[in-house]
Amino acid sequence: MAKQFQAVRGMNDLLPDKTSYWQYAESISRQVLGRYSYREIRFPLIESTDLFKRGIGDVTDVVEKEMYTFPDRNGDSLTLRPEGTAGCVRAALEHGLLHNQVQRLWYYGPMYRHERPQKGRYREFYQLGVEAYGMADSAIDAEIILLAGRLLSELGLADQVSLQINTLGSAQARLNYREQLINYFSKRKEALDEDSQRRLQSNPLRILDSKNPDMRAVIDEAPKMMDCLDDASKRHFDLLCQYLEAANQKFTINTTLVRGLDYYCLTVFEWVTDALGAQGTVCAGGRYDGLVELLGGKPTPAVGFACGLDRLILLMESVKKCQQEPDVFMILDADNTKRGLVLAEQLRVALPSLKIETNFGAASFKSQFKRAYKSGARWAIILENDKMTHSAVTVKDLQNDSEQEQVSIDKLVEWFQVSAALS
């Protein structure tokens, strides 16, 4: 037999059982983004390698170890996008979207990082990214955090996630803080693991992000960014906290939250969950006021986040949140196939929001009922020869396991309207 091929390690096929969750999450996301007046932007999966090196930072895990980089046929170095922010800024600049303008943008699609695959961490994964440009006030940081919170709650995940925020201060405050950290960790070098020793000079803030439990104590006692803030950075952060409190958004301040990409300044935040093991960050972002200038534009305030859809879906599966179940499962004996087909069409026309699955083929009623329960449908419509007068059908509420009811065909639309309104 010929060799069977397999998907590339860390890259997933999405089978029909799962795609319903994805479609649901994608459609709710679009609705929520529209309600906040964000508009979609699309840009290529491949960009020049230098864009990511410059944008994300040379001394980051993503650029150092994780990019899928290759020469194209002309010898130019190209990279599969490991994230969307750099490409979004590149596209917005290239098409003049950032000339003294306010922009609220979103994008969605696959990203690529050569990481060690495990649950919730893949080499091809999907991000929904949201970016706002041209607004320096922390009100937009708050709006963007609230938007992420709204999205998570509309997906039924509000109880599964919590919000952590921190500030990295202005570029100058961060430089001062960096010196303090180098000083502090240099005196405790023996307590650092190999990775952190390597980062000591190049990127000492990332040491704070280490997940190594042996370094917990030395990290907990390290100087805090909060104590090095200049007045403007402090005001920005205090205002953000006030805005979030005014909007009843719960949060905790996590002073060791630094994020893994170099472009951040001031606000950083993550929505995290305990339900996914080590890969608990479902949504993360912050302010990146220096990036537009770094990539060739005029200084432009910017803030955004990206949600990891793969992790959101794992979370939705764990709480069984998905609205793709049919509302009605139609059980038919073979003699009633045509009537069932036609009745389902009539109901779809009269009640466009009602999702109907019909069971075709000669299965016993017992196994059709099993399928109906398994489908998650709220109601079954049963068409069987001996009971059915052609002017009525039998309806059963599967979720409340109520008695079957005879409903006249003339009244069926009204029956579903009333029942759906009551449920």
Q: How far is the CB of 389 from ligand HAM (least distance, A)?
A: 56
- Specify which residues 176 forms β-bridges with: none
Comparison of 311 and 396: residue with beta carbon closer to ligand HAM: 311
Which of 18, 26, 97, 115 forms a contact with ligand HAM (CB under 6 A)?
115
When binding is defined by CB under 6 A, the residue of 25, 67, 81, 84 that contacts ligand HAM is 84
| Residue recorded with tokens 């300044």 | 265
Q: Does 83 bind ligand HAM (CB under 6 A)?
A: yes
Give the CA count within 13 Å in the CB-facing half-sphere of 155: 32
Beta-ladder partners of 332: 383
Size of the site for ligand HAM (CB under 6 A): 27
Tokens encoding 304: 């955004």
Does residue 174 belong to the site contacting ligand HAM (CB under 6 A)? no
How far apart are the C-alpha atoms of 404 and 294, rounded to whole Å? Answer: 68
CB 331 within 8 A of CB 382: yes
Does the footprint of ligand HAM cover residue 165 (CB under 6 A)?
no
Structure tokens at 125: 């994964």
Q: Is 29 in the site for ligand HAM (CB under 6 A)?
A: no
Q: Coil, strand, or helix at residue 115? A: coil
**Residues 228 and 180: beta-carbon distance below 8 Å:** yes
d(CA 406, CA 95): 62
The count of C-alpha atoms lying within 13 angstroms of the C-alpha of 95, restricted to the half-sphere facing its C-beta, is 10
Verify binding: residue 262, ligand HAM, rule CB under 6 A. no
Binder of ligand HAM out of 121, 174, 199, 236 (CB under 6 A): 121
Stretch that binds ligand HAM, among 23-31, 117-125, 373-381, 406-414 (CB under 6 A): 117-125
Helices 309-318 and 16-35, axial angle in degrees (round to 10): 110
Stretch that binds ligand HAM, among 80-88, 147-155, 355-363, 374-382 (CB under 6 A): 80-88
Task: Name the one range near ligand HAM by CB under 6 A: 13-21, 281-289, 342-350, 414-422.
Answer: 281-289
Residues 88, 56: Cα–Cα separation, whole Å: 13
Q: Which of 138, 281, 336, 368 binds ligand HAM (CB under 6 A)?
A: 281
125 binds ligand HAM (CB under 6 A): yes
Tell me the closest approach of the beta carbon of residue 123 to ligand HAM, in angstroms: 7
Footprint of ligand HAM on 294-323 (CB under 6 A) = 304-306, 308, 310-311
Q: Select 156 or 280, whichever has its Cβ closest to ligand HAM.
A: 280
User: With 0-12 CB in 10 A as exposed, 13-18 as middle and 19+ as buried, what is 304?
Assistant: buried
Q: How far apart are the first and last CA of the chain?
A: 54
By the rule CB under 6 A, 291 interacts with ligand HAM: no
Cite the beta strand spans of 208-264 per DSSP E: 252-253
Candidate segments 14-22, 102-110, 118-126, 207-215, binder of ligand HAM by CB under 6 A: 118-126
Minimum separation from the CB atom of position 417 to ligand HAM (A): 40
Q: Nearest-CA neighbor of 137 among 23, 303, 383?
A: 303
Q: How far is the CB of 46 from ligand HAM (least distance, A)?
A: 17
Summarize as ranges the residues that interact with ligand HAM (CB under 6 A). Answer: 83-85, 113, 115, 120-122, 125, 127, 129, 131, 260-261, 281-286, 288, 304-306, 308, 310-311
